[in-house]
Chains A and B, each alone.
Chain A
Amino acid sequence: MHSTSRPSEVVPARLFDGASARPRAVRASIEGDLLVLADEAEEEERVPLALITREQAAERIVLHRTDLPDWRLILGTVDARFVAALPDRHRITRGQARGIGFVIAGVAAAGLLAWSMGARALVWAAPLVPHRIAVQAGAPMLEMIAGGKRACEDRAGRAALDKLAARVMPPRPVEPVTLTVARNEQVNAFTLPGGQVILLSALIDAAETPEELAGVLAHELGHVEKRHPNQALIRHFGFDLFLQGLGGNVGALASTGLFLRNSRAAEREADATALALLRTGRVDPRGLAAFFARMERRAGERAKGDRLERLAGLAATHPSDASRQALFRDASGKWPTDPVLTPAEWRALRSICR
C-alpha cells in the first residue's frame, strides 16, 4: 500500500520496549511498509507498518504495536505526511460511531417502551407473584404498624368488622384477604402485598357512619383486586434495585420516572373497583363521599390555627379530590341500599381498640 519511493523524514523518538522503563532515544523513519528505528549505536529495528497504530495523546503522538501491547514509541516533532502513513487506532471510525449510536438509541427506545408499556407489563406480571412470597414481603411493614400491642382484637368489635367487611368483599377475591386494625393516630388505611389490609384506629374514630368505613375498606379492597401492591413489589425488585445497582443515582431516578404516572392511575382504578364493590354489597356510596368531604374540611380548619399548615394545605389541595368526591356522590340512588351495621354493632366496632 505504502509504496513511497523515497524514504520519509527522519523523526526523533523515544522507545519503550514494554520490558523495562528505560527509554531509548531512536530516530524513526518510514521505508516502504516498514517503520525503521535506529538508535545511537546505529542498530536498526524494522517493524511492519501493519502492526503499528497511532494515538494522539494531548500534544504527543504515541505509536502502539498490536503484537506487543506494552510497546510504546513516543514521537517528537512530526510532519503531517509521516503521520498520515500510520493508522489512527483511537479515532472512532464511522462504523463504530454508527454502532454506538444504535446502542444508545436502543437503550433509549427500551426505556421509552418501558415507560409506555411498563404499567401493562406490571399488570401482566403481578398475578405471577406467589401469594406466600407476597405475604412475606409485606410482613416487616405489617409487623412495624400492627405488631405487638398495637393490634386491636376486641372480640365484639372484630365480629362487627367482619360483618362490615363481608358486605364489600368481592365474591371471589383474587387472593385471600387478611384485615388488621392497628392503634395509630393517623387517619389512614394501607394495603400491603399478599392481600394484607390495615385500618388505623384514628380512621375508625374519624368515620361517623359504618358506610363511611365500608367505603374506605372497599377502596383498599380495590387495590387488592387490581393487585397494586404486587405490582409495586415487582417494580421494586425488578426495576428499582436492578437499575439502581447498575446505573447508580441516575438509574434509580430513571426507574422512578418510568412509573411516575402509575400511582395516580392506581388510585382511580381502586376507586372504580370500590364503586362496583359498594354496588354488589348494597352499600350507600354517599358514605365515602361524606368521608372525603369531611377530611378536606378538617384539613382546612386545622390550617386556620397554624400558619404553616395553611401553606401545606394550599399545596395539598389538588383538583382530583373534588372529582373523587363527585364520583361517589353521583352514584347515590343508583342502587338499593341496606344499612351496613346496627347501631350496637357500630358502637362495638368503634371500641375495637379499647
Chain B
Amino acid sequence: MEQPVGAHEAAPCIDFRGLGGDVFLLQLGNLALTILTLGIYRFWGKTRVRRFLWRNTLLDGDPLEYRGTGLELFVGALLAILLISVPLGLVSVVLPAFVGRGSPALVITQGILLLLIYYLVGVGMYRSWRYILSRTAWRGIRGGMTEQGWRFGLYHFGLLMAQMFSLGFLTPWVGVRRWNRLTRDMRIGSLPLFADAHSRPIYGRFLIVWVAMIVLLVLFGVLLFATVDLPTEGPPSLTQILVLIVSIYGGLAVIGFIGAMLFARYHAAFLHETYGATRLGETMRLRFDVRGREVALFYLVNFALVAFTMGLGTLLLPWRHWAFHARRIVIDGAFDPTTMRQTDLVGPGQGEGIADAFDIAPF
C-alpha cells in the first residue's frame, strides 16, 4: 500500500454489524402494517430497513446515516404511476378505440412508448442512485450524483439495445460500461468517484455461461421433442399432461441451476473487476475479493430462504444483499478527512419512483 504525501490516515475500514434476526423482526412488523394498509406502508417499511442497514454500517467507527423518508418514496411512486401507467393505459386501451387496432398511427405510438419505457429504465436506475446517495451521510457529509439522469437514460438505452440485439453476448461489456458511467457521476461530499473497469478480463467466464446455456437449451429442446409421448388422436390424459409439465419444469430447473452456478463464477469476476477499478478521490481505491463459490452459496441460500419458507424469507433478502457487499468491500489507500468537504449538489425532492416501479432500485 503506497502512502501518498499529505495523507493523514489510512482509508476507513467498513464494518457491518446488522443482525439478520433484528432485520427479520423489523420486517415482520413492516409486513403486518403493509397488509393492514393494503400495501401503502411498504415505503415506510423500506425506509426503516434502510435506516437499520445504514446505521449498522460503520466506516472507521462512524455509522452511515440514512435520511430518506417514507413519504418521499410514496410521492415518488405516485409520480411514477402517473408517468408510466397513465400513458400506457391511454395507448393500449383508449387510443385503439378511436384509431382502430393495427392502424399505422397506433403502431407508431405504441412503438414510441415501448422505446420510452426502455429509456426510463436507465433514468430510473440513475435517479435511484441519486436519491439514495443524497439521503446518505457519513460524519455529516452527504453524497450525490452530478446529473438528473436524463442523459444517462439515453446512454443506457444504447447499452440495452446492444445487449438485446447481441442476444446477451455483450452482457459483460454492457455491465462494465454501465458501472463506469454511473460511478463517474457519483460524489461523496467533494470526493469524486471514478471507475475504468474493463470487460476483457471477465469475458472468458461469461462466455462459458453463454455458450453452455445455448447448448443446454437446444439439447433440452431436442430431447423433449424426441421423447414426448402424446396421443395423436383425442386429448391427452391428465397424467400425460402432468408428466410433460414436470419434465419441462424439471429440465428447466436443472438448466437454471447449472446456469446459476456458472454465472456465479462470472459474477464474482465482475464484482472483483468493477470494484477493483473504482477510485475514491485521488488517494483511495476499492477492492472486492470474492470467490465464485461464495457467490454461488449466496444464491443458493437466497433461493432456499425464499423457497422453503413459503416466501417469508424474502423479508431477509435486502439484508442479505447489503451484508454480502458491506462485509467484502475494502477501501485501500490513504484518507485525508480535511479534503472531504460537504457537497454542493442538491438532492431530489422525492423518492426513486421509477426504479421502484421497475423494481431496479439497488437496495
A309 in the interface (beta carbon within 8 A): yes
Contact B38 A21 (CB under 8 A): no
**Whole-angstrom distance between the Cβ of A246 and the nearest chain B Cβ:** 6
CB B13 to nearest CB in A, in angstroms, measures 15
Stretch of B112-120, B134-142, B253-261, B263-271 at the chain-chain interface: B134-142
Q: Give A304-346 as 1s and 0s: 1 = Cβ < 8 Å from B's Cβ atoms.
A: 0111110010000000000000000000000000000000000
B239 at the interface (CB under 8 A from A): yes
Would you give the 0/1 interface string for B70-96, flagging 1 where the beta carbon is closer than 8 Å to chain A?
Answer: 000000011011000100010001101
Of all chain A residues, the one with the shortest Cβ separation from B37 is A107
- CB-CB contacts of A1-16 with B at 8 A, as 1s and 0s? 0000000000000001
Identify A245's interface contact among B33, B141, B242, B357, CB under 8 A: B357
Q: Is the interface of A mostly helix, strand, loop or mixed?
A: helix
Is there an interface contact between B63 and A57, defined as CB atoms closer than 8 Å? Answer: yes
Shortest distance from the beta carbon of B361 to any chain A beta carbon, whole Å: 12
Question: Are B85 and A241 within 8 A (Cβ)?
Answer: yes
**Bound-complex Cα distance A92 to B141 (A):** 26
- Give Cα A117 to B237, complex, Å: 43
Q: Is B238 an interface residue (CB 8 A)?
A: yes
Query: Using an 8 Å CB-CB cutoff, how does the interface string of A238-261 with B read, 1 for contact, 0 for none?
Result: 000111011110111011000000
Q: Assess whether B39 is interfacial by the CB under 8 Å rule.
A: yes
User: Which of B293-301, B322-330, B334-342 lies at the interface with chain A?
Assistant: B334-342
A66 lies within 8 A of chain B by Cβ = no
Tell me if B222 is interfacial: C-beta within 8 Å of chain A.
no
Contact present for A132 and B97 (CB under 8 Å): yes
Q: Is A94's beta carbon under 8 Å from chain B?
A: no
Please name all residues of chain B whose beta carbon is closer than 8 Å to the beta carbon of A132 when the two chains form the complex.
97-98
> Contact between A71 and B140 (Cβ–Cβ < 8 Å)?
yes
Among B37, B189, B242, B341, residue most surrounded by chain A Cβ atoms (within 10 Å):
B37
B181 CB within 8 Å of chain A: no
* Bound: A132/B238 CA distance, A: 40
One digit per residue, 1 when the CB lies within 8 angstroms of any chain A CB and 0 when it does not, for chain B 14-58 equals 000000000000000001011111111110000000000001100
Assess whether A108 is interfacial by the CB under 8 Å rule: yes
Say which residue of A107, A133, A251 sits within 8 Å of B36 (CB atoms).
A107
Per the bound structure, the CA–CA distance linking A133 and B250 in Å amounts to: 42
Whether the Cβ atoms of A108 and B36 lie closer than 8 Å is yes
Contact of A133 with B94 in the complex, beta carbons under 8 Å? yes
Bound Cα distance from A251 to B39, whole angstroms: 5
A246/B77 in contact, CB under 8 A: yes
Beta-carbon contacts under 8 Å, B98-132 to A: 98, 101
B349 at the interface (CB under 8 A from A): no
The answer to whether A139 and B96 have CB atoms under 8 Å apart is yes
In contact, A18 and B140 (Cβ under 8 angstroms): yes
B235 within 8 Å of A (CB atoms): yes
Residue of B nearest to A14 (CB): B62
- Known A-B contacts A70-B142, A246-B77; the reply to A21 vs B340 at CB < 8 A is yes
B35 touches A250 (CB 8 A): yes
B94 engages A104 (CB within 8 Å): no
Task: Report whether B237 and A306 are in contact in the complex, using a CB–CB cutoff of 8 Å.
Answer: yes
**Distance to closest chain B CB from A153 (angstroms):** 20
Nearest A residue to B241 via CB reads A308
| Contacting residues of chain A (227-247) with chain B, CB-CB under 8 angstroms | 237, 241-243, 245-247
Question: Knowing A19-B342, A242-B81, A250-B34 touch, does A133 contact B97 (C-beta < 8 A)?
Answer: yes
- Which residues of the other chain, A, contact B337 by a CB distance below 8 angstroms? 20-23
Closest beta carbon of chain A to B189's beta carbon, Å: 6
Q: Are B141 and A133 in contact (CB under 8 A)?
A: no
> 8 tightest CB-CB pairs across the interface, nearest first?
A247-B39, A251-B39, A21-B340, A16-B140, A136-B97, A254-B38, A22-B337, A107-B37
What are 23 A-B pairs with beta-carbon distances under 8 A? A18-B140, A19-B342, A20-B341, A60-B63, A70-B142, A71-B140, A74-B62, A132-B98, A133-B94, A135-B97, A241-B89, A242-B85, A243-B38, A247-B34, A247-B40, A248-B42, A250-B35, A250-B38, A250-B39, A250-B42, A251-B42, A308-B238, A312-B238
- Beyond known contacts A247-B37, A312-B238: 16 more, CB 8 A cutoff: A21-B338, A71-B140, A72-B139, A72-B140, A104-B37, A107-B40, A108-B36, A108-B37, A130-B97, A133-B94, A246-B42, A247-B40, A250-B31, A254-B39, A255-B38, A308-B237
User: Which A residues contact B (CB, under 8 angstroms)?
Assistant: 16-23, 57-58, 60, 70-72, 74, 104, 107-108, 110-111, 130, 132-133, 135-137, 139, 185, 237, 241-243, 245-248, 250-252, 254-255, 305-309, 312
- Which B residues form the contact surface with A (CB < 8 A)? 31, 33-42, 55-56, 62-63, 77-78, 80-81, 85, 89, 93-94, 96-98, 101, 137-142, 189, 235, 237-239, 242, 337-338, 340-342, 357
